[in-house]
Amino acid sequence: MQNVLVTGGAGFIGSNFIRYLLATSPIVRITNLDAMTYAGSLENLINLPDPSRHILVQGDITDAVLVGHLLRRYEIDTIVHFAAETHVDRSVLNPQQFIQTNVLGTFTLAEAARQYWLVDQSLHGRVLRFHHISSDEVYGSLKPGEPAWDENCPYAPNSPYAASKAASDHIVRAYGHTYGLPFSITNCSNNYGPYQFPEKLIPLMVLNAWGGKVLPVYGDGQQIRDWLHVADHCEAIYLVITKGKVGETYNIGGGSQPTNLEIVYQLCAILDELYPESPHTPHKMLIQFVADRPGHDQRYAVDFSKIQRELGWKPRHNLGDGLRQTVEWYLDHPQWVSAIQNQPDYQAWISKNYQSRPEKTG
């Protein structure tokens, strides 16, 4: 890797990866293409390691002219594709945006890379890689006792978000098979950690509890997820790009499968311990069970033995320590929290999706 295009680099995982990459590789130069929608923020890019090797370009990954221009201007040899609409609840309410960004956007990037790298052969002799970040949700939902998904499991997406990610995976793989695009794909489990937009479960619960607001738990809270710290995810992505086999898919998981309700209880207990003087202790009293979202998958879990076996990767963070560090990060960064929460889109979304959601009945 020398000249890297990171898409969605002002978002949660993308900005964490940029920090990791700048700190890890002293020769890498990064072009960060981000549409700067609600989930992308300049706050995520403050105090980067060696910011002189990073440039932010505001633009849409569906803009073929812009993407082609960036590849040529900065002689991009590596594309790390994070940019995506990611929140399942939003995909239920507005599926068209997910198809536009996740499917058409991925196609636009793959086609631009094909033209620049393979047709024009502008970087002949250079090592090239198109790396696509995907989700474990493409595999569907597991029943209790079923084994975790490995890389050979069939796709069975259940939400518009998951379907759009499954389609984007297939596009990338097809470009590799048909045109010889040098690609790799990673399917990760649920991420958590610093800079995560507080519409997702963990930061939403932390910030609501700290503010004495209701903690809305979908259904009975027994949905199971495999939680992966974003720092571990970034390390895994770097290993796949630099040492993983071209044309391969690798699952990345955290190795823990608590229920959502257990996660909320853990977060409340951490807050109780860190701030016993809080007027809202015990914070678990703020929990309110609300109507579940349509088609809510019951359980996700990935088998990441392939990346462990081939590349020597395994998660460094255990869930307990990772959650505690995450809670501390959000409470230690009130300026970041305020900047995000004061966005009009954020307030409107929280009101639409949570405050107006009825309590669970029965």
pLDDT digits (tens, 9 = 90+) for 112-124: 999 999 999 999 9
Q: How confident is the model at residue 356 (pLDDT cuts 50, 70, 90)?
A: low
* pLDDT for the residue numbered 358: 66
Other Cβ atoms within 10 Å of 245 Cβ, number: 11
Query: Does the pLDDT at position 360 exceed 70?
Result: no
The least confident of 40-44, 46-50, 232-236, 358-362 is: 358-362
pLDDT band at residue 173, thresholds of 50, 70 and 90?
A: very high
**Residue 250 annotated in active site:** no
Give pLDDT, residue 39.
80
Task: Examine residue 258 and say whether the peptide bond preceding it is cis (omega within 30 degrees of 0).
Answer: no
Q: How confident is the model at residue 258 (pLDDT cuts 50, 70, 90)?
A: very high
**pLDDT at residue 179 above 80?**
yes
Q: Give the percent of the chain with pLDDT over 70.
A: 97
Cβ of 119: how many Cβ atoms within 10 Å? 9
- Determine the Cα angle at 93 with ends 64 and 142, to 5°: 95
- pLDDT tens-place string over residues 9-21: 999 999 999 999 9
Terminal C-alpha separation, the chain? 55
- Answer for the pair 257, 224: CB distance below 8 angstroms, yes or no: yes
**Does the structure show a pLDDT above 70 at 361?**
no
For residue 271, which phi and psi values (nearest 5 degrees)?
A: -65, -40
354 is catalytic: no
pLDDT tens for each residue of 25-71: 999 999 999 999 878 889 999 999 999 999 999 999 999 999 999 99
Place of tokens 């994070």: 82
Residue percentage of the chain with pLDDT more than 90: 84
**Tens digit of each residue's pLDDT (9 = 90 or more) over 304-316:** 999 999 999 999 9
Q: Is the pLDDT of residue 215 over 90?
A: yes
Catalytic residue among 60, 136, 169, 199: 136
pLDDT score recorded for residue 342: 85
Domains belonging to the chain, first-starting first, are: 3-189+228-254+299-317 (3.40.50.720), 198-224+258-297+318-356 (3.90.25.10)
Q: Give the tokens for residue 310.
A: 């081939």
What is the per-residue pLDDT for 357? 63
Catalytic one of 20, 116, 139, 161: 161
Full DSSP string of 126-193:
S--EEEEEEEGGGG--PPTTPPPB-TTSPP---SHHHHHHHHHHHHHHHHHHHH---EEEEEE-EEES
- Would you give the distance in Å from CA 352 to the centre of its chain? 23
Considering the candidates 77, 89, 137, 199, report the single residue annotated as catalytic: 137
Query: Within its chain, how far is the Cα of 336 from the centroid?
Result: 19
Q: Which residue has the higher pLDDT, 292 or 46?
A: 46
Q: Please provide the average confidence, as pLDDT, over all residues in the chain.
A: 93
Phi-psi region of 255 (alpha: psi -120 to 50; beta: other; left: phi over 0): left
- Is 136 catalytic? The answer is yes
